């Protein structure tokens, strides 16, 4: 039986050092709650004293009850020539009210003399005094040996002396940091092995991803005897990021037999990753290992037919173990078997004969050539398949729309849209304003349709993305708009393409509405109503 | 002296299996030329016979002269019960006109019996016959043992028998594929070591990134004796991608002392990576190891001051070795020292006293809070700093603009913009159409300014990105527009934020023009011209 590996997540502190990452206090609370549910042991919340937001987080967390995790505050050892008990930074750690603290100290002699501008002995005193002081206050203390691997390579005797000082002073954990991310896995393995032989205290590893080797380094350290991994969710963090715990955990647990979280918690891994990406407002790379949208997606014809026969042939683990799922991609490389697998996956009950299937594949290819992409817009694909199978009723058609925007130096911009639709044999003409042209159009369109189809009132647009297809043409180039819509927790995505961003948005908007109406089984009204309605134009 | 490691790039074949990746024949030619210049040894161009585009590429490459690389065609062994000389796929390889071929064959017994539905002996015959036939045609032959590591773990005797068959038949290289990407580095090391002890032929490694371990696996294989790495530029490829050669190369060459390319070629690594990302129309992740925009970016206050003292303290290699560069980020975490480092980096000659510096940092923080992001829009940041230092002349101001769009069922959408500006004391009123609202606005704005500032005629908008900031609000949410502009090879980026995509675009458009005018040293005209101009409104 292999030992448990302790998980330490620093998304809320080291993660926010990443370029473009910024979290509000409430964002941080939301993430902390999810990490706790998932089974993370230590959640590093911030650096008390470095900025007001971090202190506000620790205040908020005093009111929040966690199931399992220990909220941890980050800081440094005391400064040179200052006693630990008098040090402002250490005082701030105590004021944060946490039960565990992680303090970093120097273990690379170059940093002591050149960055810190003090003596090697004074640095040892700082480490020892700080750990001892924090332990005397009843805290769990993790000592983070900054730049440990570079330090060990430069001066192994001194680097070990720093660790021994932390151990003697009573540190609960010593964490070896590859701060610059430049160490290779075989070096990590050998150095951790040596340290393990010299100390009694439990060891952790804190790798960075500058060489695209952070996950391998975390694994190598655990194989050499480390019992804690410090990283971030999705690997966000300064420069190339911290090690990605989302990849470390399934490797340790499913491949190597270590125990990190409960199997039911592991099934939440994909959701956790996507949740954190959303709160951080970061695009999840489709190809993210384990949890990405493409991680178990099969495109090439050979792969698809083999994976349908026996998933083990082209999948290294069962996607369900980590809450992800298998996908079959429709693309220009696809054949007919992909299309049939797809209609099953989309749960669309259409029967296509060989000729119809060939035509619809041809049509998908043409549209992909024009810039459509159905891989990220499966609701639009469903509509195409339904229409091809004669299963889609045209519930409304466009006569025309107009948009007017006006901006003067002293007034903010105005956007107004008018829409003329044929609905159920009536001409419906509506007008609406909005925060922008697409929003005005969306509002006018809903106004025109909501009385006929009340379910639209519950539908929300949850994401709106614009991609320029031929970037060299810039504002005159073709754009692809992807819209994600939601209703009662269900989400679907649609696509539109045009050289005009408004026309592309219109197309995706209309698809998102059509898809909901199809899902809801909406039909045209009874004939008698139609007759009444034909009497005149309805203006809302 | 460590041996050379041979580089085999399959961006053009395995890379295009990645979700969302699609390359035209000319795109493929452009990438092949760059890979050749960079020093790649084998460039896999496609699978002749699988689709017409791949064959067209090999046809085109017959006319193209390369300096160093060998264009390689990919295919499989002959089919069961078909002689190699009669096999269609092998015939297609010969017709492609290449000098080197890579053929894959099964080495996992499960795949032979279950996917291929043939006997273990027949599979050995297929491998042997196919390699011997292709060698008899004078080709360099690489044998790719598909699923080798899974196969070796399931049945090591049979997996090795397959390799021995390929070796005896005269294969020039045997490449061990981790097709499902599920193997861990220590397993790769041990298995490659064993194979190396059993065979004479040169070995290669072909890892996939499903466990975020592909780079580590490539390195482990080389350390165990493999002499070729097969991967893709930026790691694109099916599911989680192939191994990223952009990370493998500097690890092998700068960290481990192997020789892959010339040092001058290595300095082109960042450019190569960005070029391929651009041709593939993929967003480069900022945090991509080695070559990402953030790979040597410093944000945290401690890091910034230390890295300016001595880069070695926070950088694992010199960014110049791979053609990347150090950046200092301006962000809400920044202090005054970051701002001063930034004005130097941007080459802006403004002197700010302490109070002014504090004010501008405060202003940046407020704007970042509103959703601006200057990390990706340094031209807008430059304009703010110049304005704060009193170094920016207001060359034009907006009176108003209007945009009208009209779409009817049977006609494509029309976009028209009118713009009223004050330029040099004149009221200039212009109108223009465009492919969309932003393009119409851009056209009307240029029309109003080009006669006064002819340098604008050479400026182009090279990229246009829209990001929804609060995705839950969707079409009513705030958006951030990033515009990249170019002129004679120089590029700059600007930002605008609003709930209205048109207003945000306007702001970024105006900044991009103002930045060029500042760079060009444009001034308001002489007073006498002003007097003339004041006579009336100029309508272009």
* Interchain CB contact of A19 with B (< 8 Å): yes
Residues A406 and A364 in one domain: no
Confidence of residue A283 (pLDDT cuts 50, 70, 90): low
- Which of chain A's residues have a Cβ under 8 Å away from the Cβ of B437? 403, 405, 437, 500-502
Choose the final residue of a domain: A209, A241, A261.
A261
Q: Is A286 a member of any domain?
A: no
Assess A106–B contact: CB distance below 8 Å, yes or no.
no
Written in H, E and C, the secondary structure of A160-192 is HHHHHHHHHCCCCEEEEEECCCCCCHHHHHHHH
User: Residue A155 pLDDT more than 90?
Assistant: yes
**How confident is the model at residue B475, as a pLDDT?**
52
**Position B482 in a domain:** yes
Q: What is the DSSP letter of B185?
A: H
Please determine, for residue A314, whether its predicted confidence score (pLDDT) is greater than 50.
Answer: yes
Q: Minimal Cα–Cα distance from A161 to chain B, Å?
A: 20
**Any residues with CB less than 8 A from the CB of A112 and at least 6 apart, and which?**
A106, A118, A119, A120, A123
User: Would you mind telling me the total number of residues written for chain A in this entry?
Assistant: 540
Cβ atoms within 10 A of the Cβ of B319, count? 18
Q: How many angstroms separate the CA of residue A520 from the nearest CA in chain B?
A: 22
Lowest average pLDDT, out of A64-73, A257-266, B253-262, B339-348, goes to B339-348
- The pLDDT score that the predictor gives to residue A248 is 98
Sort out which chain B residues have CB atoms less than 8 A from A463's CB and list them: 468, 471, 474
CB contact under 8 A, B464 and A471: yes
Residues of B in contact with A474 (CB under 8 A): 460-464, 483-484
CA distance B416 to chain A (A): 10
Note whether A404 contacts B: Cβ–Cβ < 8 A. Answer: yes
Clarify whether residues B177 and B236 are in a common domain.
yes
Average pLDDT over residues A118-126: 98
Across the range A493-519, mean pLDDT stands at 92
CATH no. for residue A426? Answer: 3.30.160.270
Q: B110: exposed, middle or buried (C-beta count within 10 Å: 0-12, 13-18, 19+)? A: middle
Task: Tell me, yes or no, whether A430 lies in a domain.
Answer: yes
Which structure tokens are listed for A529?
């109503």
Of B363, B387, B411, the last residue of a domain is B387
Task: Tell me the residues of chain B between 110 and 129 that have a Cβ less than 8 Å away from chain A.
Answer: 110-111, 114-115
ipTM of the complex as predicted: 0.74
Same domain, A82 and A125: yes
Reported as half-sphere exposure (CB side, CA atoms, 13 A), residue B305 has a value of 10
Best of A240, A440, A509 to substitute, by most chain B Cβ atoms within 10 angstroms, is A240
Q: Does residue A515 contact residue A377 with C-beta atoms inside 8 Å?
A: no
- Residue B493 has what pLDDT? 87
Chain A hits for B256, Cβ within 8 Å = 184
Q: Are A12 and A95 found together in one domain?
A: yes
CATH number of the domain that B158 lies in? 3.20.20.70
- Among A110, A184, A211, the strongest candidate for a mutation testing the B interface, having the largest count of B CBs within 10 A, is A211
Strands (E), B327-395: 327-328
* pLDDT band at residue A538 under the 50/70/90 scheme: very low
> What residue of B is the nearest CA neighbor of A181?
B316
Min Cα distance B75 → chain A (Å) is 12
Positive or negative, the CA dihedral A38, A41, A45, A46 is negative
Q: Which residues 440-469 of B are in CB contact (within 8 Å) with A?
A: 442, 460-466, 468-469
Q: Does A255 touch chain B (CB under 8 A)?
A: yes
Q: Per mean pLDDT, which of A179-188, A453-462, B382-391 is the most reliable?
A: A179-188
| Euclidean distance between CA atoms B91 and B384, whole angstroms | 64
- Alpha-carbon torsion angle B69, B73, B77, B81, nearest 10: -140
Residues B209 and B336 in one domain: no
* Mutation for A interface: B207, B275, B282, B289, most A CBs within 10 A: B289
- Of A365, A385, A405, which marks where a domain is finished? A385
B268 touches chain A (CB under 8 A): no
| A480 confidence band (pLDDT: 50, 70, 90) | confident
Q: What is the mean pLDDT of chain A?
A: 88
pLDDT of residue A319 exceeding 80, the answer is yes
Residue A274 covered by a domain: no
Mean pLDDT of A38-44: 98
Does A187 contact chain B (CB < 8 Å)?
no
Interface of A with B in 346-385 (CB under 8 A): 368, 373, 375-376
Q: Are A239 and B296 an interchain contact pair (Cβ–Cβ within 8 Å)? A: yes
Q: Which two tokens stand for residue A242?
A: 């911290």
CB-CB neighbours of A320 under 10 Å:
12
Q: Is B197 exposed, middle or buried (0-12, 13-18, 19+ CB in 10 A)?
A: exposed
> Same domain for B246 and B305?
no
Tell me, yes or no, if A307 comes closer than 8 A to chain B by beta carbon. no
Same domain, B345 and B440: no
Q: Rounded to a whole number, what is the distance in Å from the CA of A407 to chain B's nearest CA? A: 5
Contacts of A265 (CB under 8 A, 6+ apart): A37, A38, A39
- Tell me which chain A residues have a C-beta less than 8 angstroms from the C-beta of B235: 287
Same domain, B105 and B190: yes
Question: Do B414 and B348 share a domain, yes or no?
Answer: no
A267 found inside a domain: no
- Half-sphere exposure (CA, 13 Å, Cβ side) for A529? 9
- CA-nearest residue to B151 within chain A is A313
Residue A156 pLDDT greater than 90, yes or no: yes
pLDDT of A209 above 60: yes
Burial A104-121 (b: 16+ CB within 10 A, else e): bbbbbbbbbeebbebeee
Q: Count of CB contacts below 8 A, A vs B?
A: 367
A355 within domain boundaries: yes
pLDDT at B181: 97
Tens-level pLDDT at each residue, chain B (540 residues):
577 999 999 999 999 888 777 787 888 998 999 999 999 999 999 999 777 788 899 999 999 999 999 999 999 999 999 999 999 999 999 999 999 999 999 999 999 998 889 999 999 999 999 999 999 999 999 999 999 999 999 999 999 999 999 999 999 999 999 999 999 999 999 999 999 999 999 999 999 999 999 999 999 999 999 999 999 999 999 999 999 999 999 999 999 999 999 999 999 999 899 888 877 767 678 899 999 988 998 765 566 667 777 777 789 999 999 999 887 766 544 566 677 777 877 778 777 777 888 888 888 877 877 778 776 788 998 999 898 888 888 899 999 999 999 998 888 889 999 999 999 888 999 999 988 888 899 999 999 999 899 999 988 887 777 777 654 444 556 788 888 888 877 788 899 998 888 899 999 999 999 999 999 888 776 544 443 443 344 444
- Cross-chain Cβ contact B465/A460 below 8 Å: no
Closest CA to A450 of A522, A368, A353: A522
User: Which parts of A52-149 are beta strand (E)?
Assistant: 70-76, 100-106, 140-146
What is residue B61's predicted lDDT score, i.e. its pLDDT? 96
Residues B363 and B454 in one domain: no
pLDDT band at A190 (very low <50, low <70, confident <90, very high): very high
Nearest to A500 among B287, B415, B468 (CB): B415
DSSP3 helix / strand / coil % (chain B, rounded to 5): 45, 20, 35
Question: Number of folded domains in chain A?
Answer: 3
Describe the crossing of helices A185-198 and A214-223 by its angle, rounded to 10 degrees: 30
**Mean pLDDT, rounded, for A239-267:** 97
Residue A359 lies in a domain: yes
- Binding-face residues of A in 44-103 toward B, CB within 8 A: 51
Residue of A333, A373, A474 with shortest CB distance to B461: A474
Scanning B479-518 for CB atoms below 8 A from A yields 479, 483-484, 498-503, 505-506
Angle at which helices B301-309 and B336-345 cross, to 10°: 50
Per the structure, the complete domain to which residue A338 belongs is given by 297-385
pLDDT top residue among B335 and A175: A175
Task: Please tell me whether residues A354 and A501 are part of one structural domain.
Answer: no
Indicate yes or no: CB of A294 within 8 angstroms of CB of B239: yes
Phi and psi at residue B509, to the nearest 5°: -60, -50
Give the C-alpha separation, A512 to A490, whole Å: 12
Same-domain check for residues A365 and A400 = no
Q: How confident is the model at residue A31 (pLDDT cuts 50, 70, 90)?
A: very high
Residue A268 lies in a domain: no
Could you write out the DSSP letters of every residue in B247-314?
Answer: HHHHIIIIIS--B-S-HHHHTTHHHHHHHHHHHTT-PPPTT-TTTSTTTTEE-SHHHHHHHHH-GGGT
Question: pLDDT above 90 covers what percent of chain A?
Answer: 61
Alpha-carbon distance of B207 to B148, in angstroms, equals: 10
Closest CA to A98 of A76, A77, A71, A63: A71
* CB contact (8 A) between residue B409 and residue A402: no
């Amino acid at each position: 039986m292999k030992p448990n590996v302790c998980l330490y997540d620093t998304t809320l502190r080291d993660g926010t050092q990443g370029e473009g990452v910024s979290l509000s206090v409430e964002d941080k609370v939301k993430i902390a709650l999810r990490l706790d549910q998932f089974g993370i042991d230590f959640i590093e919340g911030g650096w008390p004293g470095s900025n007001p937001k971090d202190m506000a987080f620790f205040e908020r967390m005093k009111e929040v009850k966690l199931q399992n995790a220990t909220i941890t505050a980050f800081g440094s050892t005391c400064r040179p020539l200052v006693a630990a008990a008098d040090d402002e930074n250490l005082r701030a750690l105590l004021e944060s009210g946490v039960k565990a603290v992680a303090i970093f100290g120097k273990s690379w002699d170059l940093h002591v003399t050149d960055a810190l501008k003090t003596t090697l002995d004074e640095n040892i005193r700082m480490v020892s005094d700080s750990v001892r002081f924090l332990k005397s206050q009843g805290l769990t203390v993790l000592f983070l040996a900054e730049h440990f691997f570079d330090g060990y390579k430069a001066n192994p005797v001194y680097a070990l002396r720093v660790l021994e000082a932390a151990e003697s002073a009573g540190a609960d954990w010593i964490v070896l940091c590859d701060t610059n991310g430049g160490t290779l896995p075989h070096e990590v393995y050998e150095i951790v092995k040596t340290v393990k032989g010299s100390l009694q205290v439990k060891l952790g590893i804190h790798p960075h991803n500058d060489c695209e080797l952070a996950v391998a380094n975390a694994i190598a350290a655990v194989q050499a005897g480390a019992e804690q991994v410090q990283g971030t969710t999705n690997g966000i963090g300064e420069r190339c990021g911290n090690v990605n715990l989302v990849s470390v955990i399934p490797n340790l647990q499913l491949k190597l037999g270590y125990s990190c979280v409960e199997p039911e918690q592991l099934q939440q891994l994909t959701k956790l990753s996507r949740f954190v990406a959303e709160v951080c407002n970061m695009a999840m790379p489709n190809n993210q290992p384990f949890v990405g949208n493409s991680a178990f997606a099969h495109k090439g014809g050979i792969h698809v037919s083999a994976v349908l026969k026996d998933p083990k042939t082209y999948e290294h683990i069962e996607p369900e173990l980590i809450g992800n799922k298998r996908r079959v991609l429709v693309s220009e490389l696809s054949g007919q078997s992909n299309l049939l697998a797809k209609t099953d996956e989309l749960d669309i009950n259409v029967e296509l004969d060989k000729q119809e299937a060939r035509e619809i594949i041809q049509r998908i290819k043409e549209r992909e050539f024009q810039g459509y992409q159905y891989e990220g817009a499966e609701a639009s694909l469903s509509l195409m398949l339904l229409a091809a199978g004669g299963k889609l009723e045209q519930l409304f058609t466009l006569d025309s729309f107009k948009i007017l925007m006006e901006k003067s130096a002293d007034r903010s911009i105005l956007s107004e849209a008018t829409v003329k639709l044929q609905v159920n044999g009536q001409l419906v003409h509506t007008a609406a304003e909005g925060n922008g042209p697409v929003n005005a159009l969306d509002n006018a369109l809903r106004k025109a349709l909501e009385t006929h189809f009340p379910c639209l009132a519950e539908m929300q647009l949850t994401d709106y993305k614009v991609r320029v297809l031929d970037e060299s043409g810039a504002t005159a180039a073709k754009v692809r708009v992807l819209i994600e819509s939601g209703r009662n927790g269900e989400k679907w995505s649609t696509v539109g393409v045009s050289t005009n961003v408004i026309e592309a948005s219109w197309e995706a908007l209309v698809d998102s509405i059509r898809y909901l109406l199809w899902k809801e089984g909406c039909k045209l009204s009874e004939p008698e109503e139609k007759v009444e309605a034909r009497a005149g134009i309805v203006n809302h």
